[in-house]
Amino acid sequence: MYSGRVNPHTNLTGIPAALTGWLRAGLLFLCLALTVPAALAQAPEPPVDPTPAIQTPPPQASDAEIKTRITDIFAEIDSLRRVTVEVNHGVVTLGGDVSSSAADARAEELALRVNGVVTVENQIERRLAVEDSTGGLFGDSSSRLQKLYRALPLYGVSLAVFLVIALLGHLIASWRAFWRLILPNPFLVELVSGAFRIVALLVALVMAMNVLGATTLMGTILGGAGVIGLAIGFSVRDTLENYISSIMLSVRQPFRANEHVVIDDHEGKVIRLTSRSTILMTLDGNHLRIPNTIVFKAVILNYTRNPERRFEFDLGVDAADDPVAAMQLGLDRLKSMPFVLNDPEPEAFIQTVGDSNIVLRFMGWVNQTETNFAKGRGLAIAATKDALEEGGFTLPEPIYRVRFDSGVEDALKSTKPDGRAANPLEPPRPKPTVDTREAADVAADNTIDEKVAAERASSKEPDLLDEQSPVE
């Protein structure tokens, strides 16, 4: 039977209190053993000074020993032999003079590296004598000549490497048959072959510099050339844009020579495409140069690509007339004209209905290679108008209503505009007989075509239009 007593030498679990204390101490020791090495392993290492200090003979040098040490070091360097040294409580004062600012900085750096130096007061002056500044330039010429003589074979190898690579690049760039085989048009042949020649020269120069061991100088030159090229690129941005447009037009070939085109608001026949502009001959025989940047971005209308072209015109009839009968009569007359094509057939429809007339629109097709478009359209308008008038249709005219008194009206009826008495029985004047064969000739006008052909034959300006390339 449990009496409710607790042994003071045991805990609630029955384990003796002394054993529990030993277990706690063991666990604490184990945690410390695992934590301390990990903390030591993660502790950063102290930084190492990359510049070792110049040690003086004793561990703690005096001012005199520091001065002696620095003076002995300067005595071994030609450019620092005239530098004076004073040391007081570890503070070094440098005096005298040197021939260059580099020697000045070197003296201060060496003094700071001596063990025991607290700081350096630099009072060194630079000499401005001509012989000191030009000694390196006009030094021992015999030693320079000897070095040059020993380096002659290396220079020869470098020159040979440059010449071989440059000559090989020039021969490949001049191989026109190869470039014509892989490139679509002559303009790209010239462009890519020229760029290949320049790249070959740069590669030859880099290889020659590598042989000489002057890669640092070559990197500086190429870096400067890149900056200069970037500045030039911004300054000639418009020219480069026009040049790139020329490349794209020569590849795309949007038109051929002697084609009738409209580029934005400019109409004419194409003479040639150059590396800078597109040359047109306007329909009145003038030359027109359009920058290729504009041509590349413009809307181009080509009349020559499809020889069949439609013309249209409007004619009005009186509001009391039958518009459908007028349309049929006009279509019959258009179909009877020899230059109007039957396929596609002419068409007509009611365009608008006005207050006192009905406007009809007639459309027909002609072959531009055989028919002058403007003359054909004009003759079609005249023939359709005559057919409507012969058929009894009234072409509307402006109508004005004027009211007069009876006496004035009778006087106007009995007189002519010039004041003579009107004769209602006066016969009409006869119409003169006119030979209309020339006016009715609608043959195609080849005048501009002949001028374009003569211009292309006489001019030696390069043309980027290639008849063998596909048209866009």
* Burial class for 330, CB neighbours closer than 10 Å (0-12, 13-18, 19+): buried
Mean pLDDT of 132-158: 70
Report helix, strand or coil for 55: coil
So what's the pLDDT on residue 366?
95
Q: What is the CATH number of the domain that holds 80?
A: 3.30.1340.30
Shared-domain flag, residues 128 and 168? no
Query: Does 283 reside within a domain?
Result: no
Mean pLDDT of 200-213: 83
> What's the pLDDT band for 147 if we cut at 50, 70, 90?
confident
Task: Tell which wins on pLDDT, 248 or 214.
Answer: 248
Shared-domain flag, residues 396 and 362? yes
So what's the pLDDT on residue 13?
43
Task: Tell which wins on pLDDT, 77 or 16.
Answer: 77
Which residues are paired to 98 by β-bridges? Answer: 126
Shared-domain flag, residues 322 and 399? yes
Mean pLDDT of 399-415: 58
Mean pLDDT of 77-82: 87
Task: Tell which wins on pLDDT, 189 or 364.
Answer: 364
Window from 90-104, 130-144, 145-159 with minimum mean pLDDT: 130-144
Shared-domain flag, residues 21 and 67? no
Query: Does 456 reside within a domain?
Result: no
Q: Is the pLDDT of residue 12 over 50?
A: no
Shared-domain flag, residues 90 and 165? no
- Mean pLDDT of the chain, nearest integer: 79
So what's the pLDDT on residue 185?
67
Query: Does 452 reside within a domain?
Result: no
Q: Which of 414, 437, 453 is the last residue of a domain?
A: 414
Shared-domain flag, residues 326 and 380? yes
> What's the pLDDT band for 461 if we cut at 50, 70, 90?
confident
Which residues form the domain of 15?
Answer: 1-43
Q: Is the pLDDT of residue 77 over 60?
A: yes
How many domains does the structure of the chain reveal?
4
> What's the pLDDT band for 1 if we cut at 50, 70, 90?
very low
So what's the pLDDT on residue 15?
46
So what's the pLDDT on residue 191?
75
Cα(171)–Cα(125) distance, rounded to whole angstroms? Answer: 60
Shared-domain flag, residues 371 and 325? yes
The proportion of the chain whose per-residue pLDDT surpasses 90, expressed as a percent, equals: 27
Q: Which of 198, 213, 235 is the last residue of a domain?
A: 235
Mean pLDDT of 165-183: 86
Q: Is the pLDDT of residue 404 over 70?
A: no
Mean pLDDT of 300-305: 92
Strand locations in 191-299 (E):
260-263, 266-273, 277-281, 287-291
Task: Tell which wins on pLDDT, 218 or 261.
Answer: 261
The proportion of the chain whose per-residue pLDDT surpasses 70, expressed as a percent, equals: 72
Query: Does 198 reside within a domain?
Result: yes
Mean pLDDT of 297-324: 92
So what's the pLDDT on residue 62?
84
Query: Does 176 reside within a domain?
Result: yes
Which residues are paired to 126 by β-bridges? Answer: 98
Shared-domain flag, residues 33 and 82? no
So what's the pLDDT on residue 228?
76
Shared-domain flag, residues 391 and 325? yes
Q: What is the CATH number of the domain that holds 354?
A: 3.30.70.100
CB-based contact 108:137 (threshold 8 Å): no
Query: Does 182 reside within a domain?
Result: yes
Percent helix / strand / coil, the chain, rounded to 5: 45, 15, 35
Query: Does 250 reside within a domain?
Result: no
Report helix, strand or coil for 414: helix
Q: Is the pLDDT of residue 103 over 90?
A: no
Q: Which residue in 189, 195, 191 sits closest to 169, CA to CA? A: 195
Q: Where are the alpha helices (DSSP H) in 391-464?
A: 406-414, 447-458
Q: Give the relative orientation of helices 186-212 and 141-173 as an angle to the nearest 10 degrees.
A: 150
DSSP 203-222: HHHHHHHHHHT-HHHHHHHH
Window from 130-139, 145-154, 318-327, 453-462 with minimum mean pLDDT: 130-139
Q: Which of 178, 206, 235 is the last residue of a domain?
A: 235
Shared-domain flag, residues 80 and 22? no
Q: Is the pLDDT of residue 249 over 80?
A: yes
> What's the pLDDT band for 311 if we cut at 50, 70, 90?
very high
So what's the pLDDT on residue 99?
81
Query: Does 277 reside within a domain?
Result: no
Task: Tell which wins on pLDDT, 157 or 439.
Answer: 157
Mean pLDDT of 201-225: 77
Shared-domain flag, residues 324 and 391? yes
